[in-house]
A and B are shown apart, each in its own frame.
Chain A
Amino acid sequence: MTAYIVEDGPQSGWIKVYVAGVTTAGGVTTLGSIANPEGVALHISDGYLKTVIDADAAATLDIGIGATGADSTNLCSAYDINGAAHEAVIYIVGKDAASEAAATSPKGLLWAANTFLNFYNPAAQISAPWEGYLYLKYIRIGEDLTLA
């Protein structure tokens, strides 16, 4: 399992996470979890997933927020990483919200301070050699210094 935050300068305001598939027999397994990087509640407002290499087998990808290692699906659910084209970029946060619409999944998501960004293959298929990058933007909403 491999998921980690990438720190190559050009991300310019985006948190960039590298994710790779695994060769686990039976397939179904976590691909990694990332702890909340700020330690306060964040609102994920924007997100994209770029596939670098697709999987050889019919694995799928779930992404979401939850307890570490969980199969969370509130950002991406059963995305076909076998059929994903190299260099393809897909939306992770919906871009179809009207003004005054609730900014909840799939049009935004709370990342609570003590929770994790999870990557999971829920299909009984090997997910290697899939590789991708997840790009997220968020607002630090957990600080209410005015109220303190």
Chain B
Amino acid sequence: MTVKIISDGPQSHWLKVHIKGNAAVVAATLGSIANPEGVALHINEGYLKIIAPSVGAGDLDIGIGVTGADSTDLVADMNMEGLVANAIYYVVSNNSASADAATTPQGLLWAADTYLNFYNNANFECEAYEAYLYLRYIRIGDDLTRA
């Protein structure tokens, strides 16, 4: 399992996470990222860029939860095989009207003590899979005005 935050300066205000599949032939976590700010965040924008698809029929879930969980509130059951290198997909939808609730799939709370989880929920290997996830968020957990 391999997921990690990438810190190549040019990401310019995007949280950029590298995702790598694994050789497990049973459903398994691909890794978890702790909340990087330690306060509640609202994820308001997100994209997934495919670097390489898997060979096996893995299915990718991405979401927020306890570490290692199969969380699906950002991506649910997305094919990992048969994808085109460099293809880009929306992870947070952008089809909301004014006054819509900014809840999944149109935004998501990342609570301070929770994790961004990546999980292959299918009993197939996904070792060749590689991708980048780009997220933007608002620090909604700071209430300094009220202190």
Chain B residue contacts of A98, Cβ below 8 A:
90, 93, 95, 105
Interface presence of B132 (CB below 8 A): yes
Q: A144–B10 Cα gap in the complex (Å)?
A: 11
A102 touches B86 (CB 8 A): no
B124 an interface residue at 8 Å Cβ cutoff? Answer: no
Looking at the assembled complex, report how far the CB atom of A29 sits from the nearest CB atom of chain B, in whole angstroms.
Answer: 32
Which of chain A's residues have a CB closer than 8 A to the CB of B11?
140
Q: Is the Cβ of B13 less than 8 Å from the Cβ of A141?
A: no
Which residue of chain A has the shortest Cβ distance to B92 in the bound complex? A99
Inter-chain contact B95/A139, CB cutoff 8 Å? no
- Chain A residues with a Cβ closer than 8 Å to the other chain, count: 27
Question: How many angstroms between the C-alpha atoms of A127 and B124 in the bound complex?
Answer: 57
Q: Say yes or no: A145-B8 contact (C-beta < 8 A), given A43-B88, A95-B95, A103-B88.
A: yes
The answer to whether A103 and B90 touch (CB under 8 A), given A43-B47, A140-B10, A146-B18, is: yes
B13 touches A13 (CB 8 A): yes
- Residues of A that sit less than 8 Å from B by CB: 13, 38, 40-41, 43, 45, 95-104, 107-108, 110, 139-141, 143-147
